[in-house]
């Protein structure tokens, strides 16, 4: 397979400074709405990049569950690899890869833990099977077979019956508080449009065009 021949041209309309919102949060909300309205599959999927104690990066896709001016929220097993790496280094990077719209958004920031009440509120909104799965999976730990995972899921399903499933003590939420954004729009001839938002010391966002 010759991967050097895999390429395509980007033909989307340009991104101009005058069209950008002064707030990166409002700009993100606008692009997210476009992604949802366009019917993209998993428009809220974002890559979360973390770093371990030896400086080795890792990333994975999770689903964005809330965003506002306070930050970007996701939920996970608090004993997972990502959670353990966040505990050691709360600096993370997010990526929204909206390739079908020839767009991507990069976000950098610091993670803070969500309160138990907020985690419970969201946990109760999850489908019952997803609640059981949160209990059944020791996320990121070695698993000798899928059968063991399915057996544990079945055991928990029987244990909890039709009653309320409690919030696991090892499950919760994180909020990424951004201090940098980048909005990327594909353009012809690889002359892409890129704009960064950087949080200044006075609390204002500085917007700059970046070379592609």
Just list the catalytic residues: 190
Task: Determine how many CB atoms are found less than 10 A away from the CB of residue 176.
Answer: 25
Tokens of 12: 């989307």
Contact at 8 Å (CB) between 76 and 83?
Answer: yes
Contacts of 144 (CB under 8 A, 6+ apart): none
Question: Rounded distance, CA 106 to CA 103, Å?
Answer: 10
Q: Considering Cα of 102, then 107, then 111, then 113, what sign does the dihedral take?
A: negative
Question: Rounded distance, CA 8 to CA 24, Å?
Answer: 29
Question: Rounded distance, CA 29 to CA 135, Å?
Answer: 32
Beta bridge partners of 63: 45
CA 107-98-207 angle, 5° bins:
40
SS3 74: strand
């Amino acid at each position: 397979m010759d991967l050097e021949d895999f390429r395509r041209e980007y033909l989307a309309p340009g991104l101009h400074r005058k069209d950008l919102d002064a707030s990166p949060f409002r700009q993100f909300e606008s692009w997210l709405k476009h992604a949802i309205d366009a019917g993209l599959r998993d428009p809220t999927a974002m890559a979360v990049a973390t770093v371990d104690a030896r400086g080795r990066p890792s990333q994975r896709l999770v689903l964005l569950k809330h965003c506002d001016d306070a930050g970007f929220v996701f939920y996970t097993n608090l004993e997972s690899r990502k959670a353990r790496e966040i505990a050691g280094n709360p600096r993370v990077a997010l990526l929204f890869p909206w390739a079908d719209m020839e767009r991507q958004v990069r976000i950098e920031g610091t993670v803070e833990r969500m309160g138990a009440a907020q985690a419970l509120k969201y946990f109760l909104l999850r489908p019952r099977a997803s609640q059981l799965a949160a209990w059944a999976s020791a996320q990121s730990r070695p698993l000798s077979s899928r059968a063991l995972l399915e057996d544990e899921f079945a055991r928990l399903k029987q244990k909890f019956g039709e009653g309320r499933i409690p919030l696991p003590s090892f499950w919760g939420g994180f909020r990424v508080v951004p201090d940098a954004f980048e909005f990327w729009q594909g353009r012809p001839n690889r002359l892409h449009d890129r704009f960064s938002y950087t949080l200044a010391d006075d609390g204002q966002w500085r917007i700059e065009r970046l070379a592609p």
